[in-house]
Amino acid sequence: MSKKIQFVVWTIIAIIAVLIIGVVAYNAINKMTGEIKHPEAVFEIENYGTVKMELYPEYAPNTVANFIKLIEAGYYNSKVIYGKDDICLYVGRNSGGEIDKPKISLISSDIEADSEGDYEYSIKGEFVANDFEQNTLRHEKGVISLIRDDYTQYISSLTEESYNSGNSQIGIMMSDDARNLNGAYTAFGRITEGLDILEKIYNEVEIKTAEENAENQDSPSETADDINQFATYPVITSVSVDTHGEDFGMPETMEAFNYEEYMQNLMSQYANQ
């Protein structure tokens, strides 16, 4: 091959290399500097106003997908803000203050409601303790986190069942003093508007008496003994979500662990020994 042809070949290769590097660099710069449009949820709270939240699929993709599906299915409409503790507001029970666990048919069009294939579901906890390293979102004021059960306070071996028991109940951090939740619960969003409304609810709505709270505790739950239920529940009249045209798909789900059934089977085994 002549030197002239070699020069032309190497020139073409150099041009192609420069173009490839340029495209890669452009995409990288655009990704770093371009505006990321997160999904946005809007909660309308009766007699209080509008609360908006931004959702972060980069931290907890499956939890965000599940939350979006529940909103689109109308699950949170007419649910209530039912109580508080030292750091958190609790959201998502029904108008009687009771847990209303969603079934898989609510978010999946492939399953008929109340059919044999229908069941109460849960999702995997997306946090460090559950081997999900990418969720580094910290629990600080305004952050939204998925509530889960803690069966290990009763039976220490039920760690996996505890970590993967969340589905629809959410907590909104009202304090920066929630470091103990980091890496142990799925933080997946943040309040962007209406934090003052939530502060008003948190600080001004009366709670039930100690006796009434004791009667309304759900067990097992890690925070059950510490939740002070409100005497009058603020009602969420409607919820909507803007995904900015992006489809986050169906969340990965599993059949929810039934603690009461587990204990009945365990006691039966002991009785038959």
pTM over 0.75: yes
Q: 């409607």: which residue's tokens? A: 238
On average, the pLDDT of the chain sits at 89
Angle of CA points 70, 102, 172, to nearest 5°: 60
Q: Which two tokens stand for residue 271?
A: 């009785």
Task: Give the total residue count for the chain.
Answer: 273
Residue 19 is predicted with a pLDDT of 62
Cβ neighbours of residue 268 closer than 8 Å, sequence gap 6 or more = none
How far does Cα 74 stand from its chain's mean position? Answer: 16
Q: What pLDDT, in 10s, does the model give residues 150-182?
A: 999 999 999 999 999 999 999 999 999 999 999
| Fold of domain 36-271 | Cyclophilin (2.40.100)
Distance of alpha carbon 204 from alpha carbon 116, whole angstroms: 45
Alpha-carbon distances, residue 26 vs 19, 21, 38, 241 (angstroms): 10, 8, 22, 31
Q: Look at residue 18 and tell me whether its pLDDT is greater than 80.
A: no
Positive or negative, the CA dihedral 102, 103, 108, 114 is negative
User: How does residue 34 score in pLDDT terms, banded at 50, 70 and 90?
Assistant: low
Q: What is the reported pLDDT for 170?
A: 98
What's the longest Cα–Cα distance across the chain? 96
pLDDT of res. 205: 96
Tokens read off for 211 = 């006796």
Q: Which of 47, 162, 128, 145 lies closest to 87, judged by CA?
A: 145
Per-residue pLDDT tens over the stretch 202-231: 999 999 987 766 665 554 544 445 799 999
Residues 209, 65: contact at Cβ < 8 Å? no
H-state helical runs in the chain: 3-33, 61-72, 159-163, 195-204, 210-215, 259-271
The mean pLDDT value for 50-76 works out to 98
| pLDDT at position 223 | 44
Closest C-alpha to 213, from 100, 97, 95:
97
Distances from the Cα of 81 to the Cα of 27, 48, 59, 97, 158, angstroms: 43, 12, 25, 9, 29
- From the list 269, 225, 239, the residue with the least C-alpha distance to 86 is 225
